[in-house]
Structure 1
Amino acid sequence: MMIMEIENVRRALEMISSAEDFGILIPEVRSNIVMARSNPCGPEDVAAVPGRITEFQGRAFACRDPEYGASSHMARFIIALNEHLPARRSALNIKFDESIISICEDMGLVVSSYDRSREPDIVRDTEGGSIPWGVEEALRNSESPPDVIYHRGAWGKEPMIVLTGRDAVEVAELAIRILREYKSLKGI
C-alpha cells in the first residue's frame, strides 16, 4: 500500500528532477522537499528525500526515494509552520537570491522573513531550536500567512528561501514557475 505523503513527494521530486536547469535553485547545503501527515509530532510524520536533493548536470537529483523520517531540518520547519497553519503541510528550500524574492513578490505570493542575527543565545544553543524560532518570527513579521519564508543567513549559516504549500506537488509547481522567471531574468 502506497502512503499518500510519500507518493506526493515522489511525484514532486519527479517534477523538479525533470525541470531543465532546476539545479540553479539548489543551495550549497542542498535542498529537500517535505510533506507532513496531518498534525505531525516529529520527523517520523514527515516524508522527505533521504540525503537531500543535489544538483547534477544542471538538474535536481536524488539518490533515494522519499521516506518518513528522512529529514531533520525541513521536518522541523514544516512541523513548526503546521502548528499555526494546518493546511500548510509541505515545504521546499531553495537558494537565496534577492531576485528570487522579487519574483515571488511579483507573482503575488506572501513573503516574510526573519533575521538570524537577532536569534537569542538560548535558542541558538538549543539543538533544533533555530528553525522553529525562525518560523515563529516570520509569522509574527507577516500580516497574512506567508507562502515564502526566507532569511539572509548568519555566521556559518547559508541564506535560504523556503517555499510552502498544501502538498509537495503544489510546492514543486510553484518552484518550477519561479525557475522559469529566474531563468528569464538571468538570460538562461
Structure 2
Amino acid sequence: MKKVFFFIAALFTTYFAQAQEGIKLGLKAGVNVSSVVGKDEENLGNLLGLHAGGFLDYGLTEQFSIRPELLYSMKGFYAEADEEDFEYKSYLTTHYIELPVLARFKAGNFFVEAGPTFSYLLSAKTREEGELLGEEFEETKTVTDELNKFDLGVAAGFGYQFQSGLGLGLRYTRGLSKLDKSEEAKVYNSSFQLGVSYTLR
C-alpha cells in the first residue's frame, strides 16, 4: 500500500513540476507610436507614448504558448491646420489598461504572435494650441466621457528572445471599436509598439 501511495505522490509531483515549468512570468515596457485610422483621418499625425506591465507565458509545447499581458498603454494623435490667418494643432492623449491574449509560435529564438486585445479607457485629454489673427491661444480639456470606454482590437507582431530572458518585440495593434461616441467621427486606434521584455527565472 505504501508503494502505491509513494508512486501516486511521485506522479503528482512530476506533473505539477512540469506544469510550473510551462508557466513563465515576466515584465515588459516600451514605446508606442500611435494614431488613428478611418475615413476621418486627414491631416493627422502620430503621437509618441509609453506602455508597461507584466505577462504570463503558458507553454503548451516547446514551440507554442499562450501569452496574456496586462499593460498600461498611452495612445493618441494630433491634428493640424495651417492657413493664412489661422494656425492650429490639437492633441488627443488617451490612457488605457490593455489585456492582449496572444498565441505565440517560436522557431529557435525568433517568435511571431497574434491575438485579440481588450482595452479599457482610463482617461483622455485634448490640448489645443495655435494662433488666430495674430493672437495665440492654448486650451486643455478632459474628454474621457466623449470616448468609448471599451476597445476590442487585434494585435500581431514578431521578435527575438535571448537565452538570458531578455526579449525584443515589435507589435501592431488595431482597434475594432470606434474611438469616439459620436456618429460623425469614425476612427479607430492604431498603434505600433516597440517593447523590451524580461522573463523571470
TM range (shorter): under 0.3
> Which structure has greater helix proportion?
1
Greater relative CO (CA pairs within 8 A, separation 6+): 1
**TM-score between both structures, scaled by the size of structure 1:** 0.25
The structure having more radius of gyration, on CA atoms, is: 2
If each structure's strand is expressed as a fraction of its own residues, which one has the higher value? 2
TM-score by length of 2: 0.24
